[in-house]
Amino acid sequence: MITFTVNGNAVTVDASGARRLLDVLREDLGMTGTKEGCGEGECGACSVLIDSAVVNACLVAVGQVEGAEVLTVEGLERDGELAPLQRAFIDHGAAQCGICTPGMLLAAHALLARTPNPTAHDVRIAIAGNLCRCTGYTKIIEAILACRIRAT
């Protein structure tokens, strides 16, 4: 039995510790917001946060998150309202097919938590591990920049 927290809720799964966190999220917990792209840590579609650090869930053995806090795209909304970042992606047309979007959102969420007022360069570095084959990135970068908390 492996116990950890997903989006603030404690979960216990009866799974081999060697299974991928990605598979346990999608198959055991039914949380299909986290996507599988390449399955080898290149594309970032399966990005989730573990204790605030963005990681590829395809590269994490679920035994390694025992006791940890996992944040997935399902955990970004608050009280049924989309998070500002999610709203900005819609407003800026930053999603097309949508496969990269959950990972993009989490990579951006991790960036903004650490660097509330990032430059466009910071954003490019932060999402360098999230591949998008539809939008060409510009709208994604604009959406993330729109969520900056500017120093006044």
Contact flag: residue 71 with other proteins (CB under 8 A): no
Whole-angstrom CA distances from 103 to 6, 13, 15, 53, 69 are 16, 23, 24, 13, 17
Beta carbons of 16 and 28 less than 8 angstroms apart:
no
| CA–CA separation, 106 and 92 (whole Å) | 17
Element (H or E) spanning 138, and its range?
A: helix 138-145
- Token readout for 110 is 């991790």
We find the least distance from the C-beta atom of residue 81 to other proteins, in angstroms, to be 27
Q: Which is nearer to other proteins, 54 or 147 (CB)?
A: 54
* Sites for other proteins among residues 101-130 (CB under 8 A): 107, 110, 125-126, 128-130
Name the minimum Å distance from CB 85 to other proteins: 16
Q: How far apart are CA 137 and CA 104, in angstroms?
A: 10
Binding residues for other proteins, how many (CB under 8 A)?
Answer: 29
**How long a stretch of residues is the chain?**
152
Q: Which helix (H) or strand (E) holds 121?
A: helix 120-126
Of residues 5, 28, 59, 96, which one binds other proteins by CB under 8 A? 59
By CB under 8 A, the residues from 7 to 36 that bind other proteins are 16-20
Which position among 60, 71, 76, 85 is part of the footprint of other proteins (CB under 8 A)? 60
Tokens of 66: 């025992």
Window 34-53: contact mask with other proteins (x via CB under 8 A): -----xxxx-x--x-----x
Least distance from other proteins to the Cβ atom of residue 151, Å: 21
Q: Tell me which residues touch other proteins (CB under 8 A).
A: 16-20, 39-42, 44, 47, 53-56, 58-61, 63-64, 66, 107, 110, 125-126, 128-130
